[in-house]
Structure 1
């Protein structure tokens, strides 16, 4: 189905082609427009662009969860100890989260399409290497390269989407589809990972990612136009080093804490180093003539509060899914197949939410949709606290599925909130912030809260505790964001 190709102010004419990409860029003396090359975007071409960009985002989202249930089989095959298995996840998470801002800005300056295609090549080659890995060192190297490719794909793909489709119904629908697939990818990965590992072996999960790349990569060069700022300002190297190092240290410490706790000295040291580097980054940016991150942009209410909404919805939904997986299998003793079915219902309703969210946003606006969605997600998460020791599967299925619909609404609304009103030459930065929030949120939620469920002695009590904390954070966050977004941009 092609996107609506009418402008927000024009009467609906589904047969009217979009303007050339050049006309979609911002202008003004204070902000030079991003330069985009390409032909007119017809309805058919818009569908192909959206397919390529969304399929790439889905592929990366899939990678975050497809390997989780395969870890025991992977460890047995490659001879990795239980303690070493965390690196199968961490080796991907470190570069995929740590390099997002740097690659987002690099795409702005030197070409988003070019970096997007490079990321696809690196990701696909690394997936093949991971599928055929013959020892732990090769496998972990491949996972790190996958993460590096993902760090290039995600911000540049989002930037290409927001600079291709102008603000209004077109961008709303495009981000709606992208957000749906982003959320769905995580759920599909959990279900598909278990089925494929049981039937084809753990290597098939990496082969699936390589297959996605083979589908997307041949199409991308022909349908994506290049997009970048016309000037080539100097890259803020001190800012790039401190923010990348800070994010890497922060993600490492929180990922390690999920597996080993904070007792090992390297975990708190990395945490302190990460915070210190991020503080240094803020100081550097405030004094830089050509900063990597525009601090005035971070002071925009839409950017600051919008990213807080993204942080809450992503980190807490992944945490809820994690603890419910433990609850269904370890407390209710349901099989992996039945547990997968529960999250399959969640995935179906997420698709429905992705179709409805743009309509809701069109009626009440992205900002209001964001805080209302967080509030609904919080209330439904609070309902999950009522799960019991012998029953609760139905409650879990209904509540988490409806909560995922609100979660999907929050994802789409926060992406629109953060990127709306931002000139095209800074879209890479804005979407880099969006995607950094996404990746860091997925990484930190389980270490910070999910680990509580397994350290209480009583698993059911731990699950209820985590669900209660998540609900409280969502409800409080919704209230704060609702007030904060009342300020003008």
Structure 2
């Protein structure tokens, strides 16, 4: 059933349910006539008609928003697959070459929060175009550089470009698709970018890794070209945001907060990444020092945001009330996302060690043996819109997280000498449900938790947690596996220890969901159902969560 916001003063009638949900594919997205007839509340208190986009154009918009997620997943997965090829071609130590991949993920995670706030303030289409163009240019340049340090810098700048585009894309979906089930479907389509990117880059990277050493650059050129093409199509298809000056009374930027949170995430990610790469790990004196400095910077950011809110002198970059809204439901959802994605990303690392180190497989054999996982991830994303409007959100989250836990203990519990089809194949089938249900259901929840101009900001917060948990999952799994191997000398025992840790993280996600999110019903109705927990949300349920009026001209 669709949840149409009602403006009490204007007495806007509620749209009948049968106009929002149909059993036929043609009626999945809201029609132009429905959008034309639904007045939207403007910032000055008047109602205006949102200029309608055709059904075909809305489908294209949803499809375009796949690209940032596809590129993020592809760039990360392919870079790790190509590390041996890059090392053979450019030389250098394995630690130095690892930064070709790590620089990308580090920069991508650091820029999301600030970019989300800027997108809400200055226009999502503008930020999306800037981010995609930057990513395209620096990806293309990466394909023609044969010097290691400049290559790492270009990879970091490419990651920053997608950090600018991703929150803007999330906000475009949240503000363009304001009716169900089109909204849930659009977020599910957007989420398919993760498994698609992982699967495609996994196979391409494996083929390239077995080809000539210098062929690693081809994949960066391909991904850069895709980003440029996406930016060109976006210019003509996605409508411009309404002038942000009318949406926000105060557009000043909290520069101190932006510097503090960017520095904090950079230092934290660097210390965790470097601790997993260098030989002595956390025994290197500078790594714990950098880690402690990052924690101090995070605390300083929190105190500064609290000061701005209390003094009302400048709009804070992140309103800390977000974390207590709906009795902490947003914080609980972020915790579920963090623990779930820690397990997912750790699974990818331990699986690579399992197949390539323990079983001695080539990169191509490893890619083929784990290709089932991204394929099933795509299936999971397509199932999200079918079940999200019928099944309670916490049930779906628990199912997904438990599936990922099962994938981990299937590896850990299998007897030596077992065939691929008896345990590993089944683990690949059940593993992706945790990630893709978390992204699909979590995106709908986090978007519906937004009040006013928060779509891109909350999307950036959600994406930052996903990016950071990826770093944590890989490093913790690597640390546990390495320490266990050093003490036992048994590679199988060390991998089993890592598998059980990752299963525990997934089970923890299940427990958090049951403890703090169990009273949520359907994801699409969360703001209405929980409005009694938050006075601000109670007011917001009477108006669209993002009262932006968009124009049809590009």
Give the TM-score of the pair, scaled to structure 2: 0.81
User: Partner residue of 2:267?
Assistant: 249
Which of 208, 217, 228 is equivalent to 1:203?
217
Q: Is 1:366 the counterpart of 2:366 in the alignment?
A: no
Evaluate the alpha carbon distance shift between residue 192 and residue 39 of structure 1 in structure 2; reply closer, same or farther with a 3 A threshold: farther
Partner Cα distance (1:213, 1:375) in 2? 35
- Per-residue displacement from partner, 1:334-387 (whole Å, max 9, x unpaired)? 333232122211121111111112222111232332233213322342232113
Post-superposition offset of 1:396? 1.5
Partner Cα distance (1:199, 1:81) in 2? 21
1:99/1:244 contact within 8 Å kept: yes
Evaluate the alpha carbon distance shift between residue 286 and residue 392 of structure 1 in structure 2; reply closer, same or farther with a 3 A threshold: farther
Post-superposition offset of 1:203? 0.5
User: Partner residue of 1:48?
Assistant: 60
Give 1:419-458 correspondences, 5 Å limit. 419-457=447-485, 458=490
- Per-residue displacement from partner, 1:206-234 (whole Å, max 9, x unpaired)? 11211211331210011112334343421
Partner Cα distance (1:72, 1:337) in 2? 13
Which of 225, 230, 237 is equivalent to 1:223?
237
2:349/2:477 contact within 8 Å kept: no
Partner Cα distance (2:481, 2:287) in 1? 20
Evaluate the alpha carbon distance shift between residue 26 and residue 397 of structure 1 in structure 2; reply closer, same or farther with a 3 A threshold: farther
User: Partner residue of 1:295?
Assistant: 320
Post-superposition offset of 1:427? 0.8
Evaluate the alpha carbon distance shift between residue 81 and residue 421 of structure 1 in structure 2; reply closer, same or farther with a 3 A threshold: closer
Unaligned stretches of 5+ residues in structure 2: 1-14, 520-529, 534-554
> Which segment is superposed worse, 243-252 or 347-356?
347-356
- Per-residue displacement from partner, 1:140-193 (whole Å, max 9, x unpaired)? 121111011011011111111111111531121111122222233234323321
- Per-residue displacement from partner, 1:382-414 (whole Å, max 9, x unpaired)? 232113443352212211321212431122112
Post-superposition offset of 1:38? 8.4
Partner Cα distance (1:37, 1:193) in 2? 48
Q: Is 1:270 the counterpart of 2:261 in the alignment?
A: no
User: Partner residue of 2:300?
Assistant: 280
Partner Cα distance (1:275, 1:186) in 2? 32
Post-superposition offset of 1:320? 0.8
Larger Rg: 2
> Which segment is superposed worse, 197-206 or 93-102?
197-206
User: Partner residue of 1:153?
Assistant: 165
Evaluate the alpha carbon distance shift between residue 65 and residue 24 of structure 1 in structure 2; reply closer, same or farther with a 3 A threshold: farther
1:384/1:399 contact within 8 Å kept: yes
> Which segment is superposed worse, 255-264 or 160-169?
160-169
User: Partner residue of 2:406?
Assistant: 379
Give the TM-score of the pair, scaled to structure 1: 0.91
What is the alpha-carbon root mean square deviation over aligned residues? 2.6
Post-superposition offset of 1:452? 2.0
Which of 492, 496, 500 is equivalent to 1:468?
500
Aligned residues: 481
Q: Is 1:343 the counterpart of 2:370 in the alignment?
A: yes
Post-superposition offset of 1:26? 6.5
Unaligned stretches of 5+ residues in structure 1: 1-6
